[in-house]
Amino acid sequence: MNSLLEQYLSLVRDFLPDKKSKHSIGLDIGSHSCKAVELTAHANTFELINWEIESYRDGGQVEAVKRILGKLNLEQKNVFTALSGQGTLIRFISMPRMSLEDLRSSFALEADKYFPFPKDQIYIDCFILDPKGKDSKMSVLIAAAKKEIVDQRLQLLTSVGIQTPFIGLTSLAVVNAFNALNPTANSSVSEASVLLDLGDTTSSLIILKESVPRFTRYIASGGRELNKRIANVLGISPQEAEQIKNYPQGQLESILGACESALMSLVSEIRLSFDYYVTENNAQIAKLYLTGGASLLEGIERFFSAQLEIPVERWNPQATFQLAPNVSAEDVKKNISKLTVAVGLALQRND
């Protein structure tokens, strides 16, 4: 990692050290598995060169990362990664309009106002959400990550021979993927769209208006809880529950019944976020897009749509990619929901 990033973690701004390279790799090191996506940019599209998913069942996190790297060609490519969950925070604030350089200088002195961590224990960054606005006030996204978890991630990457030019936040990687591959999906000035990335133990909820994130939060619920409920009801192992959750084979009613209480708890958290956003911003929620591994539960879109009374769909970015000759379209279709964060990180080089 270069000396600039050793001093200062870039969470939301572009940091593109190799502008000649059109190749990049997004590396999503999650709580259950490691995912990687390798992309190359063409004039009007992106080509998916390779993707890999490795679980931690066989040797843990470091070994999974090593297995993935062994299957990828890292020569002359940028590797981008991200953090999430406890120890990371995003805030949205209003400040007097100024340049980004002045904002970073002034914010460095005021960080204690916005984060529950001592300033000397975190890396921070900020981003102007409406840089072309004419009002005297501007909307600002500010992000922080505890130095402890950043250092742990850097140690992991160094141990496997990676020097990354960028460490981001997973929720912002999801936004990056969605906006890059759906440029007109949430351009309405009066309505907001929602991205719900359903992970293994934590889910990210992001509300977008005019393609700009306006609200984010982590919800401590995900696919692992659904697997536990299914395993208990059907008398099978959590590993078997993971498989049957995605491919119910005639047991869909039993699976949804087993998951109902966990899904209703998630719905309650989503409603709280919706109510807060609508009240604070006087804007309605138009649609919910699902992604992440747990979104592969069959029937989950209908369940959320009925409970939240808005259109819900599982987001599939596959149609926007070209696929390299060695990449199976069928395999990508089965796994693309698990790869959203990695896709967003790989696109960081090209956004």
The partner residues of 284 in beta bridges, in order of sequence, read: 191
pLDDT tens digit string along 295-339?
Answer: 999 899 999 999 999 999 999 877 778 899 999 999 998 899 999
Could you tell me how many helices (H) and strands (E) the chain has, helices first?
11, 14
pLDDT given for residue 264 in this prediction = 96
| Structure letter (DSSP) for residue 11 | S
Domain segments of the chain as ranges: 3-182+316-350, 216-314
Q: Say how many C-beta atoms besides its own lie within 10 A of residue 12's C-beta.
A: 17
Query: Where is pLDDT greater, at 73 or 260?
Result: 260
The partner residues of 83 in beta bridges, in order of sequence, read: 169
- Report residue 227 as tokens: 């697997």
How far, CA to CA in Å, does 25 sit from each of 76, 84, 234? 11, 18, 39
pLDDT tens digit string along 137-178?
Answer: 999 998 889 999 999 999 999 898 888 878 899 999 999 999
Q: Which CATH fold would you assign to the domain 3-182+316-350?
A: Nucleotidyltransferase; domain 5 (3.30.420)
Domain spanning 216-314: which CATH class is it, in words? alpha beta
Is 3-182+316-350's fold the same as 216-314's? yes
pLDDT tens digit string along 183-240?
Answer: 556 556 678 999 999 999 999 999 998 888 999 999 999 999 999 999 999 899 988 8
Q: Percentage of the chain surpassing pLDDT 70?
A: 89
Residue entry with tokens 């409970």: 307
Distance CA 329, CA 19 (A): 30
